[in-house]
């Protein structure tokens, strides 16, 4: 769905409220043949009761068959087709470390690396140095390197990874990687991929030169590579796109970050799931759209902890009555992608979804689960970007198309 | 799905194996109201047991509602959208007679025809001359016609039909038909449809002149018409597109041909279905992707032989344990299109499909049949080109999209 198509249909001054509750990595798999998935295993009387009044289905947020990353999957749920609204690796990394990326910033993902005396890379991860060592090296570079007119940020991620941000007027993300993505090669020079990138490429080459000088006597991290240069994208914000004043409630940086990219108001990190629901209650009269993100379903999936994931779903179920007590006009309950504990990773399996709405045409399916959703009216594999326009219609926020 | 989208996601050095088992013309219809289809009638305990562990649905390989030809349908299953990857009629005809079409070849489909003394066509099929007569005339033309610098091939098909191939450097398929597609008209001159076709058009006009001279005293086949000039398409091959070393196992020329067009290794014709499975077993360690084509389901469908088609499905079912014994990571069981015995022809009805995979999320449907597949998680009418990316994900051969 195209924003330009929806825009002329937006009604003004509507008071209806939409909640998007995302349990990250919700979709799962049975551990054993004939078994149940995490969601099917969970005791979740509130979700099951809501399912009976809702429209069900399974979504994919990137083209069917492809496994989505978290940022891209959320863009899909927000109605921003992630194959059209591309978000650079550097930006995602900056969002992931809660860096407050601004309009004059260009970000890249960095790896500390080991090079031999000729400059050939012998280890793209510098022996997976500890996180504290990465922090020390980031601080060292920040202290020693000077680029006139440019404010520099080096934010450590985990182990050998860091985020580099250059801040100055007139920068561009149109730059090639220095990372050759292989050992036995020298790091590339950063080159402009469009005329707009020329000046930034010069600055980055100077940064690389100075920073390598700083690192040259370190061991094993005596160099580094950079990739995914990108500036904050300039997209229609959520209010322009969907006519909704939106707020994001999330515990993890990545999800607050991607909400910021689409122009949502982003609340400070919540401390627990209960706290997230309390924030929702507090904010209820201030906004139209509420994105509530539950991280731990995905974390347990990634850990291969089936029971842990089941338990989180049960905890969310116990919180559901508090959301319903707010009397939302539309409540979408879904995940951003599947993270089956069996696979310990994101997967391409479609994601169970239900839309409850006062104006829903209920499917009457008495269970919220992967296989129960197959029979739902949203279909067994619908495009996640179809959710927002339908939610707007169910919230009585769209005029009809044509007369 | 775009190859360019998938390409950066391909993992290297994966060992997982994918089998695509195509029963040609698999989809069917009940002969009588209230009856069962061929697939629903077949006793097929192995397929039904596999269905329970698989994801089911019904596909269309060309736009929904349209009946596909065999070549186009297979392109769809191979993930090459047949409305974008156009394959010329001449090329399909050459593949259909097992002609080993090379990069310097241009092929066209020919009809022997009858013309009156003024050159007006009175019969576009020359009274449906017997196949042996067609062979004699092809040989006669090949013997007598000389085009400097061009190697000529005339391969008889059935009755009045033949395939013409011109082989030389610098030829092009950008030519208009000589076939006016109607009686009472003269054959057209072959004209270039782009500047690249000029030289080839000249050669074809010279060929037509000389060959008509050879035929002028024959009866009833005293002339001929040509259509569908085409060169072998230059597409991303299967390895480039999907990262898979693929092999085709098929008894009939058309299917080996279309496999060759996408760059699969093509084995010599198998002698029976059992032989095809033996070839699969022998090749198991040499390749990643195995296309196994069963022709007789379609042949019996075209003959209107319902029971014959049922029996072939049962024979394939009996062979299924040998495929499963190889322990494929992904096994797709489907058809290329429907050929209901009731219709004695290809049809537009969606085609039953199941994807078994170690990482599938089983639908738990206990039967592989047209109506059973409606309730499957792939949906009741999905695009065949979606199969390949999902199969790659289930075979753990794709990175996620984004972070």
Residues A118-137 have pLDDT tens digits of 999 999 999 999 999 999 99
Report the distance separating Cα A97 and Cα A298, nearest Å: 18
Helices A306-325 and A45-52, axial angle in degrees (round to 10): 60
| Spatial separation of the C-alpha atoms in residues B379 and B58, rounded to whole Å | 7
Given pLDDT bands bounded at 50, 70 and 90, which one contains residue A221? Answer: very high
CA angle B352, B358, B362 (to 5 degrees): 50
User: What average pLDDT score do residues B183-192 get?
Assistant: 96
ipTM for the complex shown: 0.88
pLDDT tens per residue, range A306-348 = 999 999 999 999 999 999 999 999 999 999 999 999 999 999 9
CA dihedral A322, A325, A326, A332 (to 10 degrees): 70
User: Chain A within 8 Å of B382 (Cβ-Cβ)?
Assistant: yes
Q: Using a CB-CB distance cutoff of 8 angstroms, which residues of chain A are in contact with residue B1?
A: 63, 65
Note the pLDDT of residue B181: 92
Torsion angle of the four alpha carbons B273, B275, B281, B282, in this order, in degrees rounded to the nearest 10: -150
Question: In percent, how much of chain A has pLDDT > 70?
Answer: 100
- Res B308 pLDDT > 70: yes
Q: What is the mean pLDDT of residues B264-281?
A: 96
Say what the pLDDT of residue A95 is: 87
Residue A92 sits at the chain B interface (C-beta within 8 Å): yes
Mean pLDDT of B180-202: 96
Contact B390 A346 (CB under 8 A): no
Mean pLDDT value across chain A: 96
CB hemisphere CA count around B336 (13 angstroms): 28
Q: What is the pLDDT of residue B1?
A: 65
Distance CA B228, CA A205 (A): 56
Q: Which long-range contacts (CB under 8 A, 24 or more apart) does A185-188 make?
A: A185/A120, A185/A121, A186/A115, A186/A118, A186/A119, A186/A120, A186/A121, A187/A113, A187/A115, A187/A119, A187/A121, A187/A223, A187/A224, A187/A225
- B364 to chain A, any CB pair closer than 8 A? The answer is yes
Whether residue A192 has pLDDT greater than 80? yes
Interface of A with B in 55-84 (CB under 8 A): 58, 62-73, 82-83
A247-267 average pLDDT score: 93
Q: What is the pLDDT of residue B241?
A: 95
**pLDDT (average), residues A197-224:** 97
pLDDT at B136 over 80: yes
Least confident of A36-50, A193-207, B81-95: B81-95
pLDDT per position as a tens digit, B368-394: 999 999 999 999 999 999 999 999 999
Res A187 pLDDT > 90: yes
Contacts (Cβ under 8 Å, ≥6 apart) of B132: none
Distance separating alpha carbons of residues B178 and A379, to the nearest angstrom: 49
Any CB–CB contact under 8 A between A348 and chain B? yes
Choose from A40, A80, A374 for mutation: most chain B CBs within 10 A: A374
pLDDT at A403: 80
Question: In this complex, how many residue pairs, one in chain A and one in chain B, have their CB atoms less than 8 Å apart?
Answer: 97
Query: Inter-chain contact B393–A348, Cβ cutoff 8 Å?
Result: yes
For chain B, give the mean pLDDT. Answer: 96
Query: What pLDDT does A392 receive?
Result: 97
How many CA atoms are closer than 13 Å to the CA of B128, on its beta-carbon side?
A: 0
Q: What average pLDDT does range A224-248 have in this prediction?
A: 95
Which pLDDT score is estimated for A6? Answer: 94
Look at residue A48 and tell me whether its pLDDT is greater than 80. Answer: yes
**CB-based contact A346:B359 (threshold 8 Å):** no
For strand B330-334 and strand B265-266, is the pairing parallel, antiparallel, or unpaired? unpaired
What pLDDT score does B225 carry? 97
Strands B105-115 vs B121-123: parallel, antiparallel or unpaired: antiparallel
- CA A268 to chain CA centroid, Å, is 16
- The predicted-structure confidence for B54-80, as pLDDT tens digits, reads as follows 999 999 999 999 999 999 999 999 999
Mean pLDDT of B311-333: 98
Min CA distance, B376 vs chain A (Å)? 7
Residue B220's pLDDT is what?
Answer: 96
If you measure CA to CA, which chain A residue comes closest to B365? A371
Instruction: Look at residue B96 in the predicted model and tell me its pLDDT.
Output: 85
B140-186: per-residue pLDDT in tens? 999 999 999 999 999 999 899 999 999 999 999 999 999 999 999 99
Q: Confidence class of residue A1 from pLDDT cuts 50, 70 and 90? A: low
Say if the Cβ atoms of A371 and B379 lie within 8 Å.
no
Radius of gyration of chain A (CA): 23
* Nearest of A53, A102, A18 to residue A290 by alpha carbon: A18
CA distance, residue B80 to nearest chain A CA (Å): 15
pLDDT range class, residue A352, cuts 50, 70, 90: very high
Is B29 within 8 Å of B343 (Cβ atoms)? yes
DSSP-derived letter for residue B376 is S
Quick: pLDDT tens for A89-112.
899 889 888 899 999 999 999 999
Question: Which residue of chain B comes nearest to A63, CA vs CA?
Answer: B1
Dihedral over alpha carbons B234, B238, B241, B242 (to 10 degrees): 180
- For residue A351, the SS3 value is strand
Q: What is the mean pLDDT of the segment spanning A201-222? A: 97
Whole-angstrom distance, CA of residue A318 vs CA of residue A46: 7
B296-303 vs B306-324: helix crossing angle, rounded to 10: 170
Whether residue A19 has pLDDT greater than 80: yes
Query: Which of A96, A342, A380 is facing B377, going by the closest CB pair?
Result: A380
């Amino acid at each position: 769905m195209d924003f330009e198509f929806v825009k002329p249909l937006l009604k003004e001054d509507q008071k209806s409220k939409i909640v998007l509750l995302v349990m990250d990595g919700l979709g799962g798999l049975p551990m054993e043949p004939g078994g149940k998935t995490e969601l099917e295993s969970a005791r979740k009387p509130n979700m099951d009761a809501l399912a009976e009044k809702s429209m069900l289905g399974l979504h994919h947020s990137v083209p069917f068959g492809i496994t989505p990353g978290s940022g891209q999957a959320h863009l899909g749920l927000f109605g921003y087709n992630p194959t059209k609204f591309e978000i650079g690796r550097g930006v995602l990394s900056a969002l992931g470390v809660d860096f407050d990326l601004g309009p004059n910033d260009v970000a890249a993902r960095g790896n500390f690396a080991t090079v031999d005396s000729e400059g050939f890379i012998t280890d793209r991860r510098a022996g997976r140095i500890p996180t504290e060592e990465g922090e020390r090296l980031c601080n060292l570079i920040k202290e020693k390197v000077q680029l006139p007119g440019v404010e520099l940020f080096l934010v450590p991620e985990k182990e050998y990874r860091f985020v580099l941000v250059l801040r100055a007027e007139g920068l561009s993300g149109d730059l090639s990687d220095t990372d050759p993505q292989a050992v036995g090669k020298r790091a590339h020079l950063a080159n402009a991929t469009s005329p707009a990138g020329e000046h930034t490429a010069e600055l980055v080459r100077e940064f690389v030169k100075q920073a390598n000088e700083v690192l040259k006597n370190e061991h094993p991290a005596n160099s580094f590579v950079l990739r995914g240069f990108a500036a904050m994208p300039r997209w229609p914000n959520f209010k322009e796109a969907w006519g909704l004043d939106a707020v994001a409630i999330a515990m993890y940086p990545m999800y607050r970050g991607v909400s910021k990219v689409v122009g949502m108001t982003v609340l400070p990190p919540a401390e627990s799931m209960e706290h997230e629901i309390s924030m929702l209650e507090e904010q209820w009269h201030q906004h139209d759209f509420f994105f509530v993100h539950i991280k731990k379903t995905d974390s347990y999936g990634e850990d291969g902890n089936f029971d842990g994931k089941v338990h989180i779903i049960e905890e969310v179920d116990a919180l559901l009555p508090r959301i319903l007590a707010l009397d939302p006009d539309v409540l979408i309950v879904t995940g951003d992608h599947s993270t089956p504990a069996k696979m310990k990773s994101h997967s391409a399996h479609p994601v169970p979804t239900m839309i409850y709405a006062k104006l829903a045409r209920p499917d009457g399916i008495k269970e919220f689960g992967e296989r129960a959703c197959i029979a739902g009216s949203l279909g067994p594999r619908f495009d996640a970007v179809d959710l927002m326009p339908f939610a707007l219609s169910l919230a009585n926020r769209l005029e009809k198309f044509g007369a």
